[in-house]
């Protein structure tokens, strides 16, 4: 037992030190348990086959699919519209929005989605990001308590109960305490928290897709020579191929995109959009073709081929609605002096089959290039259009070009919903139904839903593995053996008996408070999942020693593991807003302490009534 206490203490100290990442600390701790003979090899590696780990990995994939298909962008945009120009309203809506989203999407994914939107909105209404970002982080931590899958500690305490032969919690049962806590968070920030949030000056006005398009329109004149034409029933283009007409050489015009509209064509299974038409692409009646060319060329095309001119939306909306979606986007690239592109002749509007991108516009010395044919020079800048994947991979083809910004990040700001968006949402709803009615184990439900979004292409396979937070997942898998070791060596019983002896004789609420305090202290300095792994077996043994229900104590563990309000390293979400809000360590302590005390008070009052001892 002494050896176990030493390993546990060193593990906690290494977590607090922060010199190594949490997964490395957890793996070292796991191997120490095996090396010193505390655990057998199967016990040591048991965490990597644990249903908790499989379920959390699946939830990362499912959450990322919602971001990839536009749902988080839609939610973020709706939140900002509701806020209008009121700072207080914006604070309340972003906090409530982050809380609600975190019930179904990972806390990290929620904050990552709302972070640029919140910063942009803060600047737009004349306030500072530091007045909004900490509430967003705290709201996401609290919102995880709305559902069983909202945050890893919920899953960990639930599975710990099941492994000990105790009935687990239902999917929405956590909301009985999570919803009051989220409401108290809103009240706190409305009347007290907002007053003590710091006013930190930062220079972080974000570049989002809206402002980026405005910049491109101004700098590159992307909107110039851009038309949408409809193929009428009398057009000679019908049932011919693009290559038959030599549009580039004969008319100096490029067909950028085709939208199929004829019902008979769509019924035969044809895709409604041809994002990158080639010479072999056939033209059909009622097609809408997006064409780039000068006015005289377009007029000639309309007359010769009997095409109808369609009105354009406002330019930014036109670009967003017709040229950008979850799969296809635009990006800005810069050519460096060493690039092999220097000296090459290229043509604006052309589609490169080799690299899968269209050249939409060009700029030299901060002035748009109006010529269609260009000899590339060092320093030239281009706007390209292609799939987000091809844009990301373009730098692998040409080492000496610079892709400005993050195409992958920009793709998540696209709020246009597609068929895949509803597949992803349906997968989430399927998982909820399976969990609510307990039709299959939680890990199976999550894995099934994750499999659906991968197979249907809601999230590309290349991003499926990237969507998983491997550091957090490996840390959880490596810390689960610590919980086994605590019980096997009697250390958990020792700690539980200490709590029972010191607090249990007073009242079960005193024991509940003790578990809350110890758990929340751990959660300020080590990951909340690791905290839940450590405290869950202790709470169960303490409850059993007093012949009390384990449910209220396990709920207390889940709640207090999510109350890392006092430090920036308590949760990833706290760390994510640290630099963007210009926060200092003392800011978390000042703003988080009153909220933590409110959480503790509300937990001690409500939990015994909802889950009797």
Which residue, 394, 380, 385, is CA-closest to 222? 385
Cα(592)–Cα(295) distance, integer angstroms: 61
Residue 314 CB coordination number (10 Å): 10
**379 in the same domain as 518:** no
Query: Do 492 and 606 belong to one domain?
Result: yes
Averaged in consecutive runs of 10 residues, what is the pLDDT profile of the chain (613 residues)?
Answer: 79 75 84 90 86 78 79 70 80 88 75 70 78 90 88 88 88 91 94 88 58 69 77 90 85 85 61 81 88 84 89 66 74 83 80 75 84 85 82 69 66 70 88 80 86 88 78 77 75 66 75 88 75 84 85 93 80 72 82 94 93 88
Closest C-alpha to 109, from 148, 137, 78: 137
Dist. CA 57–CA 51, nearest whole Å: 10
Cα–Cα–Cα angle for 164, 607, 561, rounded to 5 degrees: 65
CB 251 within 8 A of CB 214: no
Which structural domain, as residue segments, surrounds residue 400?
Answer: 327-411
Contact 284/238 with Cβ under 8 angstroms? yes
Co-location of 236 and 278 in the same domain: yes
Q: Which two tokens stand for residue 391?
A: 């844009």
Q: Are residues 536 and 562 in the same domain?
A: yes
For the chain, the domain total comes to 3
Please indicate, yes or no, whether residues 310 and 335 belong to a single structural domain of this protein.
Answer: no
Reading the block at residue 108, the tokens are 């990290």
Q: Same domain for 513 and 537? A: yes
Element (H, E) at 229: strand 226-231
Please report, for the domain that includes residue 379, its CATH number.
3.30.70.1450
Q: DSSP labels for 122-141?
A: HHHTT--GGGTHHHHHHHHH
| Any domain includes 447 | no
pLDDT at 582: 80
Q: Is residue 591 part of a domain?
A: yes
Contact at 8 Å (CB) between 545 and 551? no
Q: Which residue has the tokens 């449910």?
A: 551
Of the residues 263, 287, 321, the one at which a domain ends: 321
In DSSP terms, which residues pair with 345 in a beta bridge?
A: 375
Clarify whether residues 260 and 340 are in a common domain.
Answer: no
Q: How far apart are CA 110 and CA 101, in angstroms?
A: 6
Domain co-membership, 11 together with 149 = yes
Calculate the CA 44 to chain-centre distance: 32
- Going by C-alpha positions, the residue among 562, 556, 564, 568 that lies closest to residue 601 is 556
Q: Is residue 440 part of a domain?
A: no
| N-terminal to C-terminal alpha carbon distance within the chain | 30
3-state secondary structure 568-592: CCCCHHHHHHHCCCCCCHHHHHHHH
pLDDT of residue 351: 66
Amino acid 116: pLDDT: 64
For the entire predicted model, the pTM comes to: 0.64
Q: What sign for the dihedral angle of Cα 103, 105, 106, 107? A: negative
Which of 273, 302, 321 delimits the end of a domain?
A: 321
Per-residue exposure over 355-373, b if at least 16 CB sit within 10 Å of its own CB, e if not: ebbbbbbbbeeeebbeebe
Assigned domain for 65 exists: no
Contact call for residues 444 and 56 (beta carbons, < 8 A): no
Question: Which token pair is 529?
Answer: 């999942």
Q: What angle do CA 220, 225, 227 make, to 5 degrees?
A: 125
For residues 489 and 576, membership in a common domain is answered with yes
Q: Is residue 55 part of a domain?
A: no
24 and 170 belong to one structural domain: yes
**Is residue 407 included in any domain, yes or no?**
yes
Do 128 and 452 form a contact (C-beta atoms < 8 A)? no
What pLDDT, on a 0 to 100 scale, did the predictor assign at position 265?
58
- Give start and end residues of each alpha helix (H) in 36-132: 41-44, 51-68, 71-83, 87-102, 107-124
Contact 374, 362 (CB under 8 A): yes
| Neighbour tally for 148: CB within 10 Å | 24
Q: How buried is residue 286: exposed, middle or buried, by Cβ count under 10 Å (0-12/13-18/19+)?
A: middle
Angle at 231 between CA 229 and CA 235, to 5 degrees: 130
CB 119 within 8 A of CB 580: yes
Q: Which of 321, 351, 381 is the last residue of a domain?
A: 321
Q: Are 530 and 22 in contact (CB under 8 A)?
A: yes
In-domain check, residue 193:
yes
What is the per-residue burial (b if ≥16 Cβ within 10 Å, else e) of 14-25? bbeeeeeebbeb
Q: What pLDDT is stored for residue 333 in this prediction?
A: 85
Whether 253 and 273 map to the same domain: the answer is: yes
Tokens 């536009």, located at residue: 70
Domain assignment of residue 266, yes or no: yes
**Residue 279 and residue 347 share a domain:** no
């Amino acid at each position: 037992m002494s050896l176990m206490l030493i390993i546990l203490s060193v593990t906690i100290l290494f977590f607090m030190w922060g010199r190594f990442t949490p997964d490395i600390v957890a793996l070292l701790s796991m191997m120490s348990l095996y090396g010193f003979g505390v655990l057998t090899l199967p016990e040591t590696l048991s965490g990597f086959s644990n249903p908790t780990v499989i379920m959390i990995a699946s939830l990362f994939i499912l959450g990322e699919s919602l971001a990839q298909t536009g749902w988080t962008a839609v939610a973020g945009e709706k939140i900002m519209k509701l806020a209008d120009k009121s700072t207080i309203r914006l604070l309340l809506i972003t906090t409530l929005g982050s809380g609600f989203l975190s019930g179904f999407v990972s806390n990290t994914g929620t904050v990552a989605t709302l972070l640029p939107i919140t910063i942009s909105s803060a600047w737009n209404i004349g306030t500072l990001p530091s007045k909004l970002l900490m509430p967003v982080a705290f709201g996401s931590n609290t919102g995880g308590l709305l559902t069983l899958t909202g945050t890893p500690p919920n899953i960990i305490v639930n599975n710990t109960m099941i492994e000990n032969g105790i009935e687990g919690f239902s999917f929405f049962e956590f909301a009985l305490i999570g919803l009051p806590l989220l409401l108290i968070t809103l009240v706190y920030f409305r009347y007290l928290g907002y007053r003590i949030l710091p006013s930190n000056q930062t220079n972080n006005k974000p570049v989002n897709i809206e402002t980026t398009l405005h910049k491109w329109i101004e700098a590159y004149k992307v909107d110039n020579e851009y038309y949408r034409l409809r193929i009428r029933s009398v057009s000679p283009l019908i049932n011919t191929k693009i290559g038959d007409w030599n549009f580039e050489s004969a008319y100096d015009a490029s067909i950028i995109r085709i939208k199929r509209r004829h019902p008979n064509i769509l019924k035969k299974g044809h895709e409604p959009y041809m994002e990158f038409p080639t010479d072999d692409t056939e033209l059909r009646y009622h097609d809408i073709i997006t064409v780039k060319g000068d006015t005289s060329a377009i007029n000639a095309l309309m007359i010769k081929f009997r095409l109808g001119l369609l009105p354009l939306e406002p330019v930014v909306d036109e670009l967003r609605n017709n040229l950008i979606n979850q799969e296809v986007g635009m990006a800005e690239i810069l050519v460096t002096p060493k690039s092999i592109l220097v000296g090459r002749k290229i043509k604006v509007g052309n589609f490169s089959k080799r690299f899968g991108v269209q050249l939409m516009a060009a700029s030299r010395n901060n002035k748009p290039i109006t010529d269609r044919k260009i000899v590339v020079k060092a320093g030239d800048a281009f706007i390209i259009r292609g799939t987000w994947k091809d844009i990301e991979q373009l730098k692998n083809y040409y080492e000496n070009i610079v892709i400005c910004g993050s195409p992958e990040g920009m793709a998540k700001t696209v709020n246009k919903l597609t068929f895949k968006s509803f597949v992803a949402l349906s997968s989430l709803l399927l998982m909820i139904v399976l969990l609510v009615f307990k039709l299959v184990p939680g890990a199976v439900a999550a894995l099934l839903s994750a499999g659906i979004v991968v197979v249907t292409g809601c999230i590309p396979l290349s991003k499926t593995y990237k969507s998983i937070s491997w550091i957090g997942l490996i840390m959880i898998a490596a810390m689960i053996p610590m919980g086994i070791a605590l019980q096997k060596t009697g250390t958990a019983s020792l700690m539980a008996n200490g709590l029972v002896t010191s607090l249990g004789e007073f009242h079960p609420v005193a024991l509940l408070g003790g578990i809350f305090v110890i758990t929340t202290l751990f959660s300020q300095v080590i990951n909340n999942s690791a905290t839940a792994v450590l405290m869950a077996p202790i709470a169960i043994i303490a409850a059993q020693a007093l012949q009390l229900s384990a449910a209220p104590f396990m709920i207390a563990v889940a709640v207090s593991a999510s109350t890392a309000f006092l430090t920036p390293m308590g949760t990833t979400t706290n760390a994510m807003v640290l630099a963007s809000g210009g926060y200092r360590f003392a800011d978390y302590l000042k703003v988080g302490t009153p909220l933590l005390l409110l959480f503790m008070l509300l937990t001690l009052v409500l939990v015994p009534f909802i889950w009797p001892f």
